[in-house]
Amino acid sequence: MADTNTQHNNHDDNAADDKQEEYDHAKVPAEPEEEKLDSFSPAERELTPLNLSSKSLQSLQSGTSDNQSILKSTLKKKQRAWVDPWEAAVKDTFYHKQIDSLRPTFDVLHDRITGVQPLNQLFTANRDGIEEDEDEELDSPQDIELEQEEKTQQEPGKKFGMWIGVIARNLLNIFGVIMFLRVGFMVGQAGIVQALLIIAISTAVTVLTALSMSAICTNGTILGGGAYYMISRSLGPSIGGAIGILFSIGNMCACSLYLIGFAETLVANLENAASFHIVDGGVWDVRIWSNIGLLFVLFISIVGLSCVIKTQLGLLMFIFCAILLFFVGSFYQEYTNNEYPCELEYGAGAAQCVDTPYISMMTITPKGWINGNFVENLQSDYQGYNFWTVLGIFFPAVTGIMAGANISGELENPGVDIPNGTIISIAISTVVYMLMAIFVGAVTVRYELLTNDLVMAYICVWEYIVIIGIYAATLSSAIASLVGAPRILQAVASDNLFPFKVVQYFGKLNKNGEPMRGYFLATVVALCCNLIGELNAVAPLISQFFMLTYLLVNVACFGLAVSKSPGWRPSFKYFNRYTALIGSLLCLVIMFLLNWAYALAALLIAGMLFFYVYFKDPDINWGAAPQARRYYDVYKALLKLRKTKQHIKTWRPAFLILTRDPIKKPQLLLFTQTLNKAHGPLFYCTIHTGDYRTNIRKFREAKHNGYLPPNCPKNAQGFYKCIIADSLRNGTQSLVQTIGTGSLAPNTLIVGFKAKWQNDNDEVINEYVQILRDALVMGMGLMVVTGAKRINWFLDEYAPPAIEHDDEEDDNEEENGDETEIVTHSEAGSSNRDHISNVSPAMRMPQSSKHAEDAMFLSKALAAGQSKQTVIDVWWMIDDGGLCMLIPYIMKKHKFWSQCKLRMLMVAEEDSMNSDIGGMKDMIKQFRLPYEGPLFVPAKKEPSPQTVARYEALAKRKLSELSRHKIIKKWLILTELLWEYSRYAGINVVTLPIPTKQMEPRAYMALLEMLTERKKLPPTIIMRGNGESTLTFYSE
C-alpha cells in the first residue's frame, strides 16, 4: 500500500508541479527583465507579487550575491503599505470576488511565483548582497503606465441615483391605476374608517418588507435582479429560483393590470365624449385598447432603459400635477349627477319616484364636510364585496416598492439608494393615499363613489389633467413592469438554476445588454391577461404574487437575523428579527384572507419550483441564511453531545477510511458506503508523503474542503481529509489522533489489504504492519478489506464474483497419490455433517460434486441479479467486543447486502463442541442478531504440510523459527477451514490476528495473505474490535 501510495503521491506532486508552472507562467514574465513587462495586462502586473531584476534572479539562483541586485515590489505605489512597500496596504484591492489571490507576501511564503527556491532565501538565507528598492516616494514607470491605461479604460455606463432610480420608479408604480380608478371605489365600499385601515394594513406590510429589504441591501453589494437577487442570496437557490420565476411572472401580469386600467379609462372617455366604441363599448373594447397600449409599451421598452427612465420622469410630472389639482379642486368643485336614483333620495316606493326614477343630485360638493356626507361615509356599505376582497383590489397600489430594487444593477449605490428611496416613497404614497381617501369620502356621496370610476377627475380643478394622469400612471407602471420582469428572468437564467431551454432562451441579453427576448415573452403573458378585461378580476391575482414575494423577503431577513453568522452585519439598523417575523406572518395570513384558492395555487407552484431546484442541488454557494443557520445548529448540537455519556445501546461505529483517490480508486469508498446504515460518520482520508509547506492552502482547496467530491461514484457522501505527512505511518497516527470533532470521532479504522506486499522491502512491510498495530494501540477497531475490486458495486444487489478454485491442484495431488488433509477431513466424520445439518438446507456446505457444482453456480454474478442463497460467513474467533458480529448485521441492512444470509461459524475442539452449541445459540438470540447457526467447525490438530510450506514461502522463514509458532499454526488451520467451509460464501468476515511485537512483519503479512487467498476465497474482511463491548442483551 505504501508503494502504491508513493506512486500516487508522486503523480499528484507532478500534477501539482505542472499547475504551479502554469500559474508561474501566467504570473511572471518569461524574461525577467523589467522592460519585458509590456506583455502583461495592468491587472496581471498589479497582482504580480514580486518582481526580481535579471541580475538579482541570476544572483540568487547561482548562490552568489551582487550589490547591484535589486528586489522591487510590483504593487502600485498607492497599494503599498506604509510600513513596508513589499506588503499590501489596507485597501479593497484583494477583497473583490473576481480576485482570489493571496497578498504578495503570502504568495512568496506559499511558493506561488517563479524562482521558488531563490525567493525562499528572502526568509531563510543571508541577504547581504540583495538590495531592496526602498524609493517609495517616486512613481515608477510601471505605476505611471498602469495609471495611464486605467484612465483610458472605457467608463461604465451611466448609473441612476436614489431620486431617479428608486423614488421616481417606486412612486410611478405606486401611483398607478388603482389610485385614480379604485380609491373612490374602496371608500364607497369600506367607508373612510375601514379604507384608512386597509391603507394602514397595506402600508404595514410594505413598511415591514422595506425594513427587511433595507437590512439585506445594506449587508453587501446588491447586483442585478432586485428582489430575486436579495431572496436567492439570502435563502439559497431553491427558494430564490422559485420566487424569481414567480416574481417575474407577477410583474408581467402587473403590466396587464395597468394596461386594463388604461383601457377602461379610455373606453369610458370615448363613450362619453363621442359615443365611440369599437365593439360593444365594454369588455371587448377594453381588451382591444389594452393590447394596443401593450404594443406602445413594448416599443418604449425596446428603445432602451435610459429612454424609459426619461419617459417616466415626464409622466411623473403629470401625476404630481393631477394629485395637486385634485386636492385643490376638492375645496370648490361641484358636480351634479342627472341620473341619480330617486329611491336613494326619497326611499324605496316613494311617490316622487314613480314617474321619475332618476333625479338630478349634486353628488360632489365641498359642503360634504358639514352637510353630513362625511359622517355618513365613515361607515362601510359593502355591496358584493367584503373587507378582504376590497383589500385585495387595493393592495397592488402599494406593490411598487420593488421597482427600484429591480434595476439595482443600474444604481449608483444600491446599498444606500434602495433602503432610503424605498422608505421615502412609502411615506409619500401613504400620506397621499390617506388624504385622498378622506377628501374623496368627504366631498362625494357614496353612490357616486360606487358607480363612477372617474370620480376623482370630476373633483380635480381640470378634469383632463386627471385623465392624462391616469394615462401617465398606467403607462408608466406598465413600462416599469415590462422592463423589470425580463431582467428578473435574466438574473434567474444567468444563475443556471433551471436547465429548461425556455428559461435560458428568454433570459439572454442582446449586444446592448437588453433582455430583448424577455420583453417579447412579457408581452405575450400580458396579452393573455389582457384578455380577462376586468380590473377587479386581475388585481387579486397580482396581489398574491407580490404578497408571496414580500413574504419571502421577510423570511430571508428573519433567516439571516437568526443565523447568527458573523457575516450578517447590515448597516441599516432600524429592524430586528421580530419585525421580519411579523411581516412574514402578516403576509401569509393576508394571502389566505384575500383568496385562499389563489394562495394555495401560488404556494403550490412555488413549492414545485422549490423542490425541483432543491433536488437538483446546483453547485452554488451564495452564503445563504440556511447555510449559516445549519452550521450554527450543528455546532450547538455537537456541544450538547458533551452531556451524553457513551452507552453500549447507543454505540455506533464511526469509520476512518484510508483511501487513495476516491474518484480513480473508488472500491473501498463504495464498500464503506454500504455501511452507512450505522448512521455514523465516514471519514475518508488520503495521505500524501512530502513536505506540508508546499502550497498547503491550494492543496486543501483542491481536496474539496473536507467533503467527498460531488462527482464521486454513486453519489457517495462523507467527510474527506487529505493530508501531507513525511510518511504513511506518521500521517495515519496524526489522523487517528486528530480527525473528528467531539463525539463525532472515528472509532474504527478501515484499510485496504496491501496486495503486492511480497514485492516490497522489509521497511515498507513493517510500516504497513505498524499502522495496523498503532490503530489497535490507540483504541480503534480495525478492518482490513480485500477483494473489493472483484465486486460489481453498481448492481442493485450483491452478486458474488467468480473465483478460481483449486480443482486442478486437487487433480494433480490425487495423481501423485498425495491426498490433502483438507479433503480427507471434510469427508471424514459424521459429526461434522451433523453440525452442518443444524443449518437450513440452503445454508449447508457442499457434500458431493453435484452440491459443489450447484454452489459454484450460485456464486456467479448473474445478469438478473444474485441468488437469494448468498451467504456472509462470519468466523468469530475471538471475543473482540462484538464488532465482528455487528458489522455484518449493519451491512445486511443496506439494500446491496439485503438478500444475503448471515451465518456464524466458530472453531472448537471435538470434545467441547456439544456443550458450547446451546450457550452460543442463546447468546446470539439475546443479541437479537439475524444469524443462522452458530455452526461449530471441529478443529484440526495440525495444518497440512502444503499449507505450512506455502506459509514459509511467503514469510521467507521456517515456521519453527518464528515466535509464537504454535499460535501461527492454529491460524493456518483456520485458513484450511475457510477454504473447506466458506469458499462458496458470498463474503467472509474473519477475526484479525493481533499483530504483536514478537511477530515479524513479513510473517504477519504472510498470515493475512493465507487468510484471504484472493484466488481461492471470496472477498474477505479481516477485522477486530478494540475490546470494548458493542453488543448487549440488557435493556439498561
Residue 782 in this model has a pLDDT that exceeds 90: yes
Highest mean pLDDT among 350-359, 577-586, 599-608: 577-586
- Cβ density class 800-826: b for 16+ within 10 Å, e for less: bbebebbeeeeeeeeeeeeebbbeebb
Residue type, 747: N
The predicted structure's pLDDT at residue 701 = 58
Residue type, 1019: P
pLDDT, one tens digit per residue, over 219-248 is 776 666 666 777 777 777 877 788 788 888
The conformational region for residue 564 under phi > 0 = left, psi -120 to 50 = alpha, else beta, is left
Q: Is the CB of residue 242 less than 8 Å from the CB of residue 603? A: no
pLDDT, mean of residues 479-489: 81
Q: Which three cell numbers stand for residue 808?
A: 486442478
The predicted structure's pLDDT at residue 139 = 52
Return phi, psi of residue 1035, to 5°. -95, 5
Cβ neighbours of residue 119 closer than 8 Å, sequence gap 6 or more? 50, 52, 60, 108, 111, 113
- Give counts: helices (H), strands (E), the chain: 40, 15
Q: Which three cell numbers stand for residue 17?
A: 508541479
Cβ neighbours of residue 639 closer than 8 Å, sequence gap 6 or more? 742
Residue 73 in this model has a pLDDT that exceeds 80: no
The predicted structure's pLDDT at residue 506 = 77
pLDDT, one tens digit per residue, over 879-900 is 888 888 899 999 999 989 988 9
The predicted structure's pLDDT at residue 842 = 38
Residue 377 in this model has a pLDDT that exceeds 60: yes
Q: Where are the beta strands (DSSP E) in 596-742?
A: 655-658, 682-689, 719-725
Residue 920 in this model has a pLDDT that exceeds 50: yes
Model confidence at 82, pLDDT cuts 50, 70, 90, reads low
The predicted structure's pLDDT at residue 861 = 34
Longest dimension (CA), the chain: 136
Q: How far apart are CA 405 and CA 417, in angstroms?
A: 9
Highest mean pLDDT among 172-176, 311-315, 592-596, 757-761: 757-761
Model confidence at 315, pLDDT cuts 50, 70, 90, reads confident
Cβ neighbours of residue 989 closer than 8 Å, sequence gap 6 or more? 872, 873, 874, 875, 884, 887, 888, 1020, 1021, 1023
Q: Where are the beta strands (DSSP E) in 690-841?
A: 719-725, 748-752, 781-786
Cβ neighbours of residue 501 closer than 8 Å, sequence gap 6 or more? none
Cβ neighbours of residue 506 closer than 8 Å, sequence gap 6 or more? 486, 489, 493, 515, 517, 518, 520, 521
For residue 440, the SS3 value is helix
**Above pLDDT 70, what percent of the chain?**
72
Average pLDDT, the chain: 75
Residue 182 in this model has a pLDDT that exceeds 90: no
Q: Which three cell numbers stand for residue 906?
A: 466458530
Q: Which three cell numbers stand for residue 631?
A: 452550521
Characterize the bridge pairing of strands 69-73 and 50-52.
antiparallel
Q: How far apart are CA 391 and CA 539, in angstroms?
A: 10
Q: How far apart are CA 879 and CA 876, in angstroms?
A: 7
The predicted structure's pLDDT at residue 769 = 93
Residue 265 in this model has a pLDDT that exceeds 90: no
**Above pLDDT 90, what percent of the chain?**
14
Indicate if the alpha-carbon torsion angle 726, 731, 734, 738 is positive or negative. positive
Partners of residue 444 on adjacent β-strands: 364
Q: How far apart are CA 525 and CA 294, in angstroms?
A: 11
Is pLDDT larger for residue 143 or for residue 964?
A: 964
Is pLDDT larger for residue 9 or for residue 620?
A: 620
The predicted structure's pLDDT at residue 432 = 92
Residue 503 in this model has a pLDDT that exceeds 80: no
Q: Which of 85-94, 104-113, 351-360, 920-929 has the lowest mean pLDDT?
A: 104-113
- Whole-angstrom distance between the N-terminal and C-terminal Cα of the chain? 43
Q: Helix 1001-1012 to helix 965-982 angle, to the nearest 10 degrees?
A: 20
pLDDT, mean of residues 170-178: 79
pLDDT, one tens digit per residue, over 25-62 is 333 333 333 333 343 344 334 434 444 444 443 443 44
Q: Which three cell numbers stand for residue 226?
A: 432586485
For residue 989, the SS3 value is strand
Spatial strand order of the sheet with 931-938 comes to 719-725, 682-689, 655-658, 748-752, 781-786, 1020-1024, 987-991, 871-875, 901-908, 931-938
pLDDT, mean of residues 101-128: 45
Indicate if the alpha-carbon torsion angle 579, 585, 588, 593 is positive or negative. negative
Spatial strand order of the sheet with 130-132 comes to 50-52, 69-73, 130-132
pLDDT, mean of residues 524-546: 84
- Which 8-state DSSP code applies to residue 167? I
pLDDT, mean of residues 433-454: 89
Q: How far apart are CA 274 and CA 790, in angstroms?
A: 90
Model-level pTM?
0.62
Indicate if the alpha-carbon torsion angle 93, 99, 104, 106 is positive or negative. positive
Partners of residue 1022 on adjacent β-strands: 784, 990
The predicted structure's pLDDT at residue 849 = 47
The predicted structure's pLDDT at residue 81 = 62
Q: How far apart are CA 477 and CA 448, in angstroms?
A: 27
Q: How far apart are CA 456 and CA 463, in angstroms?
A: 8
